[in-house]
Structure 1
Amino acid sequence: MGLLVEGVWQDRWYDTKATGGRFERKASAFRNWVTADGAPGPSGEGGFRAEPGRYHLYVSLACPWAHRTLIVRALKGLEDAVSVSVVDPHMGAEGWVFGASPGATPDPVNGASRLYEVYLAADPAYTGRVTVPVLWDRTRGTIVSNESAEIVRMLNGAFGGTGPDLYPEDLRAEIDAVNARVYDRVNNGVYKAGFATEGAAYAEAFTALFSELDALEARLARTRYLCGDRLTEADIRLFTTLVRFDAVYVGHFKCNRRRVGDYANLSNYLRDLYALPGVAGTVNLTHIKRHYYESHPTINPTGIVPLGPDLDFAAPNDRASRFGA
């Protein structure tokens, strides 16, 4: 995981010395919004009207942040409206690249061989991490956004689409509150545990993670979804961490107090979400395992990818019958 400094690529890992061994994620740099009429969104500038075929999404099938955008794209029926390129699962000295691994694709928009070239096409003097997802505007030739949470809301609201409203107005306060806790303690919490370089920082993240998973287990005993009987973006954001948990985070990130499979409600809920139309097609455990185990030599210096565990996300669940379809 490198970065660009004034337009020059540097293969540099996260510096945790200044933060007491804690991993601190930097804010995304590109924060414009696609809107239905091209008016400015909550941040950035206007001029990004929602038009079929105009926007291109750069993703990794391994990355949970990018994965959430792919799920929303599928649930909203936007596969033809927003095209996609998939980077190689292995992230080495050049960062994310467009490789030849099965499931990876070329970049038909910018012809890039490395994702950082897409960032430089938008800003030749860019300084910062080169991350996925990236939403690219073909018309203006620039990056709209590299903030997954905001891309999810654009895909949900700006383009129309046929799927459910994942951010309904009457649930927004509850969704935002759930998202805040899940992001800090679970989505980013596994990274704070896995990338910690001091025991106290690891223990702090580990404790918060499992405290929140226990709370979510109790919450999901009462309702089918996190915010009641309706699927929302909060569920999608949690799903992409849960689906990676037993395969990667338990071992690779030392999040091993319990597996998701040890939680009756969380595991049932995971299978319920996996069964949603289009979701299973976005899950690629080969990319997921290869990325984490091959791309973090400070954690797994041998680069050996585990053969297990055996996971069956398609196994039956009883969420619909238990809470009502």
Structure 2
Amino acid sequence: MPKLSPATRLASPVDTTTFGEYRIPDTPGPLLRFTGRITTDGEFTARPFRYHVYGGWFCPWSHRVAITRALAGLEDIVTMSFVDGVRDGRGWAFREQYGPDPVNGFTLLREVYEATEEGFDGHVSVPALWDRAGSRLVSNDSHGIGIDLATRFRHLADPLVETYPPRLRERIEELDRWLGPAVNHGVGAAGRPGPVREALLEAFEQLDGRLARSRYLLGDDLTEADIRLWVTLVRYDVGANAFRAINPGLHVYPHLWSYARALYRIPAFRDTTDFAAFARPGAALPDWDAPVDR
């Protein structure tokens, strides 16, 4: 039997009968165990082709990183590949739809974690930033990965957009302290009446008013704040609100809806979006190509 090259190895099909459903392990310590950062003179420095991002088309946190990577001009500097969108008890895996692991030839994303920490017993998540030079995982913290891609590679690539400029960083993080709980994390639980839904809809109302006066969340600058919000907006009407359990749809906030469509026209947003990867079965896709007046 011919030996398969690392670039052709794929995981076996999803098998919950044998492996069970994936469960986030109830282990001590933080959920995101790897939080390494790319710095000027530390363990992880910015070099061309050193890093690889393991992502998932379905995952909003991976989506943030993919958009930032494109806007930072890093698509030829930091490589990226995608796991299959369905998992069993083994966690995320590399299968035919999105191809094998091009870096290590692993069949399961768990192997990335185990190669870094022997006997790893924590949560296997995407995105995950891999260091080719050290053959180890740097981070599975999307927040830190996004900031580092936006800021640490300026000597290697010219960004299309500087999404984390020093003068706006505190305002970006201030927005995140509001929109993170209210929108990005709250949307998943907003299908049930209660304070979580109320906070989400109140945030949408406030964002609609804000965007009536502003092109982006922080004026004329497209920033990480917009990226972080947008990945939730693009999933809203085919995900948490697919069957209009929360409200009639994003279109009831005309300025917010127009803003979201305007961002979708930017290639970095549009080309990293695969609706089929995250839309619920039977969900009707809104017209993201409708004319935008902003």
TM-score (norm 2): 0.86
2:236 corresponds to? 245
2:38 corresponds to? 34
TM-aligned CA deviation for residue 79 of structure 1: 0.6
What is the distance in 2 between the residues matched to 1:164 and 1:224?
A: 15
2:199 corresponds to? 208
* Paired residues of 1:190 and 1:255 also in contact (CA < 8 A): no
* Amino acid of the structure 2 residue aligned with 1:150: G
SS of aligned partner of 1:85? strand
2:287 corresponds to? 312
Instruction: Spell out structure 1 runs of 4+ moving beyond 6 A.
Output: none
What is the distance in 1 between the residues matched to 2:245 and 2:137?
A: 34
What is the distance in 2 between the residues matched to 1:310 and 1:152?
A: 28
Q: 1:267-306 residue pairs with structure 2 within 5 A?
A: 267-289=257-279, 293=280, 305-306=281-282
What is the distance in 2 between the residues matched to 1:150 and 1:260?
A: 29
Please state if 1:144 is matched with 2:141.
no
Aligned residues with identical type, % of pairs: 39
* Amino acid of the structure 2 residue aligned with 1:181: W
In the alignment of these two chains, the number of paired residues is 270
- Mark the CA change 1:190 to 1:92 in structure 2 (over 3 Å): closer, same or farther: farther
2:74 corresponds to? 78
TM-aligned CA deviation for residue 125 of structure 1: 2.5
- Which string of whole-angstrom CA distances, capped at 9 and with x for unpartnered residues, describes residues 187-212 of structure 1? 11113446xxxx6xx62321211111
What is the CA RMSD across the aligned residues, in angstroms? 2.1
What is the distance in 2 between the residues matched to 1:14 and 1:138?
A: 27
What is the distance in 1 between the residues matched to 2:196 and 2:31?
A: 19
TM-aligned CA deviation for residue 246 of structure 1: 0.4
- Mark the CA change 1:71 to 1:33 in structure 2 (over 3 Å): closer, same or farther: same
List alignment gaps of at least 5 residues for structure 2: 1-18
2:7 corresponds to? none
* Paired residues of 2:126 and 2:140 also in contact (CA < 8 A): yes
2:148 corresponds to? 154
What is the distance in 1 between the residues matched to 2:127 and 2:292?
A: 31
- Mark the CA change 1:209 to 1:159 in structure 2 (over 3 Å): closer, same or farther: same
List alignment gaps of at least 5 residues for structure 1: 1-8, 17-25, 40-45, 294-304, 320-325
TM-score (norm 1): 0.78
1:191 corresponds to? 188
